Amino acid sequence: MAKLNAKEYKSFEDIKQTDDNGLEFWYARDLSGVLEYSKWENFSKVIKRAMLACKNSGYNINDHFPEVRKMVEIGSGTKRNLVDYKLTRYACYLIVQNGDPRKEVIALGQTYFAIQTRRAEVADAFNQLDENNKRLVVRGNIKQWNQLLAEAAHNAGVITDEEFAVFQNSGYMGLYGGMTVADIHEKKGLKEKEKILDFMGSTELIANLFRISQAEEKLKKDNASSVEQANNIHYEVAEKIRNAMIEMGATLPENLPTPEKSIQVIEREEIRKLRNSDQKLMLDE
Protein backbone atom coordinates (compact mmCIF):
# COMPACT_ATOMS: atom_id res chain seq x y z
CA MET A 1 0.00 0.00 0.00
CA ALA A 2 1.38 3.39 -0.96
CA LYS A 3 2.69 5.90 1.53
CA LEU A 4 0.06 8.60 1.93
CA ASN A 5 1.17 11.93 0.50
CA ALA A 6 -0.07 14.96 2.46
CA LYS A 7 -1.13 16.80 -0.71
CA GLU A 8 -3.26 13.93 -2.03
CA TYR A 9 -4.65 13.24 1.45
CA LYS A 10 -5.83 16.85 1.61
CA SER A 11 -7.42 16.58 -1.82
CA PHE A 12 -9.63 13.70 -0.63
CA GLU A 13 -10.51 15.71 2.48
CA ASP A 14 -11.28 18.84 0.47
CA ILE A 15 -14.01 17.17 -1.58
CA LYS A 16 -15.62 15.44 1.40
CA GLN A 17 -19.20 16.57 2.09
CA THR A 18 -21.45 16.23 5.14
CA ASP A 19 -25.21 15.75 4.94
CA ASP A 20 -27.89 17.09 7.31
CA ASN A 21 -27.43 14.05 9.57
CA GLY A 22 -23.69 14.62 9.91
CA LEU A 23 -22.79 11.70 7.64
CA GLU A 24 -19.81 11.99 5.32
CA PHE A 25 -20.14 11.49 1.57
CA TRP A 26 -18.27 12.26 -1.65
CA TYR A 27 -19.73 13.26 -5.02
CA ALA A 28 -18.56 10.89 -7.74
CA ARG A 29 -17.75 13.70 -10.18
CA ASP A 30 -15.54 15.39 -7.58
CA LEU A 31 -13.81 12.09 -6.88
CA SER A 32 -13.21 11.45 -10.56
CA GLY A 33 -11.22 14.68 -10.80
CA VAL A 34 -9.05 13.85 -7.78
CA LEU A 35 -8.44 10.37 -9.21
CA GLU A 36 -7.36 11.97 -12.51
CA TYR A 37 -10.10 10.59 -14.74
CA SER A 38 -10.57 13.16 -17.49
CA LYS A 39 -13.57 11.39 -19.05
CA TRP A 40 -16.71 10.61 -17.05
CA GLU A 41 -17.41 7.67 -19.34
CA ASN A 42 -14.23 5.94 -18.17
CA PHE A 43 -14.88 6.71 -14.53
CA SER A 44 -18.49 5.51 -14.72
CA LYS A 45 -17.14 2.09 -15.77
CA VAL A 46 -15.13 2.00 -12.54
CA ILE A 47 -18.27 2.95 -10.61
CA LYS A 48 -20.19 0.07 -12.22
CA ARG A 49 -17.48 -2.40 -11.19
CA ALA A 50 -17.57 -0.99 -7.66
CA MET A 51 -21.38 -1.36 -7.60
CA LEU A 52 -21.05 -5.00 -8.59
CA ALA A 53 -18.52 -5.55 -5.80
CA CYS A 54 -20.93 -3.89 -3.39
CA LYS A 55 -23.77 -6.17 -4.47
CA ASN A 56 -21.57 -9.28 -4.27
CA SER A 57 -20.61 -8.29 -0.73
CA GLY A 58 -24.27 -8.44 0.26
CA TYR A 59 -24.90 -4.70 0.54
CA ASN A 60 -27.66 -2.63 -1.05
CA ILE A 61 -26.19 -0.59 -3.91
CA ASN A 62 -28.63 2.28 -3.35
CA ASP A 63 -27.42 2.64 0.24
CA HIS A 64 -23.88 3.39 -0.94
CA PHE A 65 -24.30 4.73 -4.50
CA PRO A 66 -27.53 6.80 -4.49
CA GLU A 67 -27.96 8.56 -7.83
CA VAL A 68 -28.41 12.34 -7.85
CA ARG A 69 -28.68 15.04 -10.49
CA LYS A 70 -26.40 18.05 -10.61
CA MET A 71 -26.40 21.16 -12.74
CA VAL A 72 -22.88 21.38 -14.16
CA GLU A 73 -21.49 24.25 -16.21
CA ILE A 74 -20.19 22.97 -19.55
CA GLY A 75 -18.93 26.26 -20.99
CA SER A 76 -20.10 29.74 -22.01
CA GLY A 77 -22.41 29.86 -19.02
CA THR A 78 -24.38 26.87 -20.26
CA LYS A 79 -25.42 24.29 -17.69
CA ARG A 80 -26.49 20.71 -18.12
CA ASN A 81 -28.34 18.38 -15.78
CA LEU A 82 -25.91 15.46 -15.31
CA VAL A 83 -25.98 12.19 -13.39
CA ASP A 84 -23.86 12.05 -10.25
CA TYR A 85 -23.63 9.80 -7.18
CA LYS A 86 -23.46 10.54 -3.46
CA LEU A 87 -20.84 8.01 -2.44
CA THR A 88 -20.39 6.63 1.04
CA ARG A 89 -16.92 5.99 2.41
CA TYR A 90 -17.36 2.31 1.58
CA ALA A 91 -18.41 3.14 -2.00
CA CYS A 92 -15.28 5.27 -2.43
CA TYR A 93 -13.18 2.44 -1.06
CA LEU A 94 -14.67 0.03 -3.63
CA ILE A 95 -14.10 2.55 -6.42
CA VAL A 96 -10.40 2.99 -5.68
CA GLN A 97 -10.05 -0.77 -5.36
CA ASN A 98 -11.45 -1.08 -8.90
CA GLY A 99 -9.58 1.89 -10.38
CA ASP A 100 -6.60 1.94 -12.70
CA PRO A 101 -3.73 0.45 -10.62
CA ARG A 102 -1.17 2.25 -12.79
CA LYS A 103 -2.23 5.60 -11.34
CA GLU A 104 -0.27 6.56 -8.22
CA VAL A 105 -3.24 8.53 -6.92
CA ILE A 106 -5.35 5.35 -7.02
CA ALA A 107 -2.94 3.66 -4.63
CA LEU A 108 -3.01 6.75 -2.43
CA GLY A 109 -6.81 6.66 -2.51
CA GLN A 110 -6.79 3.02 -1.47
CA THR A 111 -4.69 3.94 1.58
CA TYR A 112 -6.83 6.95 2.46
CA PHE A 113 -10.21 5.21 2.29
CA ALA A 114 -8.89 2.03 3.97
CA ILE A 115 -7.73 4.15 6.91
CA GLN A 116 -11.00 6.10 7.06
CA THR A 117 -13.07 2.92 6.90
CA ARG A 118 -11.07 1.25 9.65
CA ARG A 119 -11.38 4.32 11.88
CA ALA A 120 -15.14 4.29 11.43
CA GLU A 121 -15.35 0.58 12.23
CA VAL A 122 -13.35 1.04 15.42
CA ALA A 123 -15.47 4.03 16.45
CA ASP A 124 -18.71 2.15 15.80
CA ALA A 125 -17.52 -0.86 17.77
CA PHE A 126 -16.41 1.36 20.65
CA ASN A 127 -19.72 3.24 20.77
CA GLN A 128 -21.60 -0.03 21.12
CA LEU A 129 -19.71 -0.99 24.26
CA ASP A 130 -21.08 -0.39 27.74
CA GLU A 131 -19.24 1.98 30.09
CA ASN A 132 -17.18 -0.76 31.77
CA ASN A 133 -15.85 -2.11 28.49
CA LYS A 134 -15.14 1.40 27.21
CA ARG A 135 -13.00 1.90 30.31
CA LEU A 136 -11.16 -1.35 29.61
CA VAL A 137 -10.41 -0.39 26.02
CA VAL A 138 -9.18 3.14 26.77
CA ARG A 139 -7.17 2.02 29.81
CA GLY A 140 -5.44 -0.55 27.61
CA ASN A 141 -4.62 2.14 25.05
CA ILE A 142 -3.26 4.40 27.79
CA LYS A 143 -0.88 1.66 28.95
CA GLN A 144 0.57 1.47 25.44
CA TRP A 145 0.78 5.24 24.95
CA ASN A 146 2.33 5.75 28.39
CA GLN A 147 5.17 3.49 27.31
CA LEU A 148 5.71 5.65 24.22
CA LEU A 149 5.53 8.82 26.33
CA ALA A 150 8.05 7.42 28.80
CA GLU A 151 10.42 6.62 25.94
CA ALA A 152 10.06 10.12 24.45
CA ALA A 153 10.63 11.67 27.88
CA HIS A 154 13.70 9.49 28.44
CA ASN A 155 15.12 10.61 25.09
CA ALA A 156 14.59 14.20 26.23
CA GLY A 157 16.62 13.61 29.39
CA VAL A 158 14.02 12.47 31.93
CA ILE A 159 16.01 9.61 33.42
CA THR A 160 15.50 9.05 37.16
CA ASP A 161 12.32 7.98 38.92
CA GLU A 162 12.17 11.35 40.64
CA GLU A 163 12.46 13.21 37.33
CA PHE A 164 9.77 11.08 35.77
CA ALA A 165 7.43 11.67 38.73
CA VAL A 166 7.82 15.44 38.24
CA PHE A 167 7.28 14.99 34.48
CA GLN A 168 4.05 13.06 35.09
CA ASN A 169 2.85 15.65 37.61
CA SER A 170 3.44 18.38 35.02
CA GLY A 171 0.93 16.75 32.69
CA TYR A 172 -1.67 16.19 35.38
CA MET A 173 -1.28 19.74 36.68
CA GLY A 174 -1.90 21.15 33.22
CA LEU A 175 -5.01 19.03 32.66
CA TYR A 176 -6.40 19.22 36.21
CA GLY A 177 -5.93 22.92 36.91
CA GLY A 178 -2.84 22.60 39.09
CA MET A 179 -3.70 19.33 40.86
CA THR A 180 -0.86 16.83 41.25
CA VAL A 181 -1.15 13.03 41.18
CA ALA A 182 -1.35 13.08 44.99
CA ASP A 183 -4.10 15.71 44.90
CA ILE A 184 -6.16 13.73 42.40
CA HIS A 185 -5.58 10.54 44.39
CA GLU A 186 -6.88 12.24 47.52
CA LYS A 187 -9.88 13.82 45.77
CA LYS A 188 -10.92 10.41 44.46
CA GLY A 189 -10.65 8.97 47.97
CA LEU A 190 -8.35 6.14 46.89
CA LYS A 191 -6.27 3.83 49.04
CA GLU A 192 -2.49 4.17 49.08
CA LYS A 193 -1.66 1.62 46.38
CA GLU A 194 -4.64 2.30 44.12
CA LYS A 195 -3.85 4.05 40.82
CA ILE A 196 -5.87 7.06 39.70
CA LEU A 197 -6.08 5.82 36.09
CA ASP A 198 -7.81 2.68 37.33
CA PHE A 199 -10.55 4.78 38.91
CA MET A 200 -11.46 6.97 35.97
CA GLY A 201 -14.58 6.76 33.81
CA SER A 202 -14.25 6.51 30.04
CA THR A 203 -14.60 10.29 29.50
CA GLU A 204 -11.81 11.10 31.95
CA LEU A 205 -9.64 8.34 30.52
CA ILE A 206 -10.10 9.66 26.98
CA ALA A 207 -9.02 13.15 28.09
CA ASN A 208 -5.87 11.65 29.59
CA LEU A 209 -5.22 9.50 26.54
CA PHE A 210 -5.32 12.66 24.43
CA ARG A 211 -2.93 14.38 26.85
CA ILE A 212 -0.49 11.47 26.72
CA SER A 213 -0.56 10.96 22.94
CA GLN A 214 -0.22 14.66 22.13
CA ALA A 215 2.58 15.18 24.65
CA GLU A 216 4.49 12.24 23.17
CA GLU A 217 4.04 13.67 19.68
CA LYS A 218 5.21 17.18 20.66
CA LEU A 219 8.23 15.91 22.59
CA LYS A 220 9.42 14.22 19.40
CA LYS A 221 8.39 17.07 17.10
CA ASP A 222 10.21 19.70 19.20
CA ASN A 223 13.25 17.45 19.75
CA ALA A 224 13.05 18.08 23.49
CA SER A 225 16.50 17.81 25.00
CA SER A 226 16.19 18.67 28.69
CA VAL A 227 14.09 17.74 31.71
CA GLU A 228 12.82 21.30 31.99
CA GLN A 229 11.75 21.42 28.34
CA ALA A 230 10.02 18.04 28.64
CA ASN A 231 8.12 19.16 31.75
CA ASN A 232 7.06 22.41 30.10
CA ILE A 233 5.84 20.63 26.97
CA HIS A 234 3.81 18.12 29.00
CA TYR A 235 2.21 20.91 31.05
CA GLU A 236 1.48 23.16 28.06
CA VAL A 237 -0.09 20.37 25.98
CA ALA A 238 -2.31 19.34 28.90
CA GLU A 239 -3.27 22.94 29.68
CA LYS A 240 -4.34 23.51 26.06
CA ILE A 241 -6.57 20.44 26.25
CA ARG A 242 -8.09 21.77 29.47
CA ASN A 243 -8.69 25.18 27.90
CA ALA A 244 -10.39 23.51 24.93
CA MET A 245 -12.67 21.63 27.34
CA ILE A 246 -13.51 24.91 29.10
CA GLU A 247 -14.28 26.57 25.78
CA MET A 248 -16.60 23.71 24.79
CA GLY A 249 -18.34 23.78 28.16
CA ALA A 250 -17.28 20.21 28.93
CA THR A 251 -17.07 18.88 32.48
CA LEU A 252 -13.48 19.29 33.67
CA PRO A 253 -11.69 16.05 34.55
CA GLU A 254 -11.44 16.75 38.29
CA ASN A 255 -15.23 17.15 38.42
CA LEU A 256 -16.06 13.89 36.65
CA PRO A 257 -17.44 11.11 38.88
CA THR A 258 -15.13 8.42 40.21
CA PRO A 259 -16.35 4.89 39.36
CA GLU A 260 -16.91 2.54 42.26
CA LYS A 261 -15.17 -0.36 40.54
CA SER A 262 -11.51 -0.34 39.57
CA ILE A 263 -10.30 -1.49 36.16
CA GLN A 264 -8.89 -4.64 37.80
CA VAL A 265 -12.30 -5.60 39.21
CA ILE A 266 -13.96 -5.05 35.83
CA GLU A 267 -11.29 -7.14 34.10
CA ARG A 268 -11.89 -10.04 36.49
CA GLU A 269 -15.65 -9.79 35.96
CA GLU A 270 -15.30 -9.73 32.16
CA ILE A 271 -12.91 -12.69 32.20
CA ARG A 272 -15.44 -14.68 34.23
CA LYS A 273 -18.12 -13.79 31.69
CA LEU A 274 -15.84 -14.83 28.85
CA ARG A 275 -15.17 -18.21 30.42
CA ASN A 276 -18.90 -18.84 30.59
CA SER A 277 -19.72 -17.76 27.03
CA ASP A 278 -18.37 -17.57 23.49
CA GLN A 279 -18.39 -13.75 23.53
CA LYS A 280 -15.12 -12.07 22.56
CA LEU A 281 -13.54 -9.97 25.30
CA MET A 282 -12.56 -6.49 24.06
CA LEU A 283 -9.56 -5.17 25.95
CA ASP A 284 -6.78 -3.56 23.93
CA GLU A 285 -8.50 -3.54 20.54
Q: Mean pLDDT in the chain?
A: 88
Report yes or no: 281 and 270 within 8 Å, Cβ to Cβ: yes
pLDDT of 75-108, one tens digit each? 667 778 889 999 998 999 999 988 887 888 888 8
Q: Residues in the chain, how many?
A: 285
Give me the mean pLDDT over the 153-174 stretch: 97
Give me the mean pLDDT over the 241-251 stretch: 95
pLDDT of 30-65, one tens digit each? 999 999 999 999 999 999 999 998 898 888 999 999
The percent of residues above 90 in pLDDT, for the chain, comes to: 63
* pTM to 2 decimal places: 0.63
Residue 9, pLDDT score: 58
Burial (Cβ within 10 Å: 0-12, 13-18, ≥19) of residue 281: middle
Q: Does 153 have pLDDT greater than 90?
A: yes
Residue 283, pLDDT score: 38
Residues with Cβ within 8 Å of residue 210, at least 6 apart in sequence: 241
